[in-house]
């Protein structure tokens, strides 16, 4: 039987079959309910959700949607965000993913998207389509007893106040806070209202019951909300003593004071013996707020948001740069969508990107450029690893001065 690709949003039966195929692809046996199908059709943008069907059976899935990504300097670029990519184990090596993704990327470029983004379940798949890792994350575990914190203090006098919140308050204050945070955090992506409803229990349709976390809100001395912490606590036993592990789901802070105060608040909980950071920035303040930073150990170190260029001039002109300089980039695109040789000229007035025939300072693929773009990776390291070529010996150092940022990019959200 021949396989055919079609959109699934308009037919509830197709969509239910598609959801089940997505779960099968990610080895999730959770059931699909009629309530979930109805809720997702009503609340999500499914206009670009596609499946490959053999008769009534969905054997491959793919979806993209509109997203914004924050870049250094506080600008944003429009992204074609790719998710729910699966191919049944029975149908691999038949070109199903290649057909879905190449068509979507061509359409996204025609639509005017500047980049495409995704979170790859497997590292080796997406480089051949021009993607590369653009942000990284660490996970920390803190032995609270060893940390040396004064149990009488949960923050500094000038760091404002932290208070618990309920679901209704989080839904009310969270979106505005996150908008301020994400426009100051390169690598952050947009959150829609459904994000907040799902994480505060306003929408519970899904394969598993929703469980309420703890929420804590930081307000500065003027009463302005500057940070939000979401975490869960798991009880255990050590000898004849109860022990509790607090695990962060998300911590977003619009100011350094709020970031410090929320970490110190969490570390000050009575009976909590271990704090786990969840996905945190590579340069999180967490270990630095500890009197004994050896109390914090890294338990996870991984790439996260991947990016591929679709419009090189708009992409490079959207961000700011660390110094005034000019550099010629010869970019190679495996799909032929965004390659070319361009002169990037950065100044205090902004950046301009124009085609050029000048000799290249750097020759690199779109995936390597993605790793440089938000400031996460070093051109000097990429050269040493054989990931790019330098037309001039000083070019990688100059590129690092241009592209690197004071704090590393970070994407707090999956999609």
Whether residue 228 is predicted with pLDDT greater than 60 in this model: the reply is yes
Residue with tokens 């050590």: 238
Contact 187, 222 (CB under 8 A): no
Q: How confident is the model at residue 208 (pLDDT cuts 50, 70, 90)?
A: confident
Distance of CA 274 to the CA centre of its chain: 26
CB-count exposure of residue 392 (10 Å: 0-12, 13-18, 19+) = middle
What is the C-alpha to C-alpha distance for residues 83 and 117, in angstroms, rounded to an integer? 9
pLDDT at site 209: 87
Instruction: Find the catalytic residue in 178, 342, 403, 415.
Output: 415
Q: Which two tokens stand for residue 214?
A: 């703890």
Same fold, 4-113 and 137-303: yes
Told to judge if 62 belongs to the known catalytic residues of this protein, a careful annotator would answer: no
The three-class DSSP label of residue 26 is: coil
Whether residue 160 is predicted with pLDDT greater than 90 in this model: the reply is no
Average pLDDT of the segment spanning 358-376:
98
Superfamily of domain 137-303: Gcn5-related N-acetyltransferase (GNAT) (3.40.630.30)
Burial 42-51 (b: 16+ CB within 10 A, else e): eeeebebbbb
The whole model's pTM is what?
Answer: 0.94
Burial 109-121 (b: 16+ CB within 10 A, else e): beeebbbbbbbbe
Q: Which two tokens stand for residue 296?
A: 């914090």
Write the pLDDT tens digit of every residue in 162-191.
999 999 999 999 999 999 999 999 999 999
Counting Cα atoms < 13 Å in the Cβ hemisphere of 55 gives 2
Write the pLDDT tens digit of every residue in 59-98.
999 999 999 999 999 999 999 999 999 999 999 989 999 9
Told to judge if 415 belongs to the known catalytic residues of this protein, a careful annotator would answer: yes
Instruction: Find the catalytic residue in 15, 62, 65, 126.
Output: 126
CB-count exposure of residue 163 (10 Å: 0-12, 13-18, 19+) = exposed
What is the C-alpha to C-alpha distance for residues 105 and 173, in angstroms, rounded to an integer? 35
Pairing of strands 132-133, 296-303: unpaired
Max Cα–Cα distance, the chain, nearest Å: 74
What is the C-alpha to C-alpha distance for residues 412 and 410, in angstroms, rounded to an integer? 6
pLDDT at site 152: 63
- CA-to-CA dists, residue 30 to 22, 24, 25, 359, angstroms: 11, 9, 12, 55
Element (H, E) at 12: helix 12-25
Where are the extended beta strands (E) located within 105-224? Answer: 115-118, 132-133, 136-143, 161-165, 214-219
* String of DSSP letters for 65-85: EEEEEE-TTS-EEEEEEEEEE
The three-class DSSP label of residue 393 is: coil
Q: How confident is the model at residue 206 (pLDDT cuts 50, 70, 90)?
A: confident
Write the pLDDT tens digit of every residue in 271-310.
999 999 999 999 999 999 999 999 999 999 999 999 999 9
Whether residue 28 is predicted with pLDDT greater than 60 in this model: the reply is yes
Rounded to the nearest 10 degrees, the angle between the axes of helix 12-25 and helix 34-43 is 100
Q: Which two tokens stand for residue 60?
A: 């491959």
Cβ neighbours of residue 173 closer than 8 Å, sequence gap 6 or more:
165, 217, 225, 228
What is the C-alpha to C-alpha distance for residues 68 and 87, in angstroms, rounded to an integer? 27
pLDDT at site 131: 98
What is the C-alpha to C-alpha distance for residues 233 and 73, in angstroms, rounded to an integer? 36
pLDDT at site 205: 77
Domain residues of the chain, as ranges? 4-113, 137-303, 312-403
Average pLDDT of the segment spanning 260-270:
96
pLDDT at site 204: 87
Q: Which two tokens stand for residue 140?
A: 């920390």
CA neighbor of 268 nearest in space, from 220, 229, 300, 238: 229
pLDDT at site 1: 66
CA neighbor of 115 nearest in space, from 366, 382, 388, 375: 366
Comparison of pLDDT for 154 and 216, the residue scoring more = 216
Does domain 312-403 fall into CATH 3.40.50.1860? no
Instruction: Return the CATH architecture of domain 4-113.
Output: 3-Layer(aba) Sandwich (3.40)
What is the C-alpha to C-alpha distance for residues 258 and 264, in angstroms, rounded to an integer? 10
């Amino acid at each position: 039987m021949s396989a055919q690709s079609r959109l699934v949003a308009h037919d509830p039966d197709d969509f239910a079959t598609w959801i089940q195929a997505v779960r099968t692809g990610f080895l999730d046996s959770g059931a699909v309910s009629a309530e979930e199908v109805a809720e997702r059709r009503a609340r999500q943008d499914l206009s670009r959700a596609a499946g490959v069907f053999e008769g009534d059976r969905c054997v491959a899935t793919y979806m993209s949607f509109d997203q914004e990504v924050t870049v250094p300097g506080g600008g944003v670029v429009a992204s074609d965000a790719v998710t729910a990519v699966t191919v049944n184990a029975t149908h691999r090596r038949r070109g199903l993913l290649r057909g879905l993704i190449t068509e979507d990327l061509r359409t996204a470029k025609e639509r005017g998207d500047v980049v495409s983004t995704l979170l790859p379940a497997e590292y080796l798949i997406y480089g051949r389509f021009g993607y590369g890792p653009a942000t990284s994350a660490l996970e920390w575990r803190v032995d609270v007893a060893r940390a040396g914190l004064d149990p009488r203090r949960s923050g500094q006098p000038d760091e404002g106040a932290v208070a618990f919140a309920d679901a209704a308050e989080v839904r009310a204050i969270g979106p505005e806070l996150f908008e301020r945070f994400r426009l100051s955090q390169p690598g952050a992506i947009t959150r829609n209202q459904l994000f907040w409803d799902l994480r505060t229990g306003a929408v519970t349709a899904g394969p598993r019951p929703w469980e309420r976390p703890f929420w804590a809100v930081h307000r500065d001395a003027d009463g302005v909300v500057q940070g939000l912490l979401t975490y869960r606590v798991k009880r255990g036993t050590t000898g004849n003593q109860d022990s509790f592990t607090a695990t962060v789901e998300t911590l977003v802070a619009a100011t350094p004071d709020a970031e410090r105060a929320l970490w110190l608040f969490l570390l000050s909980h009575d009976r909590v013996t271990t704090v786990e950071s969840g996905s945190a920035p590579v340069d999180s303040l967490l270990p630095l707020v500890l009197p004994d930073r050896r109390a914090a150990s890294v338990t996870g170190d991984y790439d996260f948001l991947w990016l591929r260029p679709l419009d090189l001039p708009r992409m490079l002109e959207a961000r700011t740069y660390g110094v005034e300089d000019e550099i010629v980039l010869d970019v190679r695109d495996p799909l032929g969508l965004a390659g070319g040789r361009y002169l990037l000229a950065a100044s205090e007035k902004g950046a301009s990107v124009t085609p050029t025939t000048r000799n290249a300072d750097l020759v690199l693929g779109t995936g390597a450029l993605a790793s440089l773009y938000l400031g996460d990776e070093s051109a000097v390291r990429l050269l040493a690893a054989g990931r790019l070529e330098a037309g001039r010996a000083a070019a990688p150092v100059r590129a690092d001065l241009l592209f690197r940022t004071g704090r590393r990019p970070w994407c707090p959200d999956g999609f």
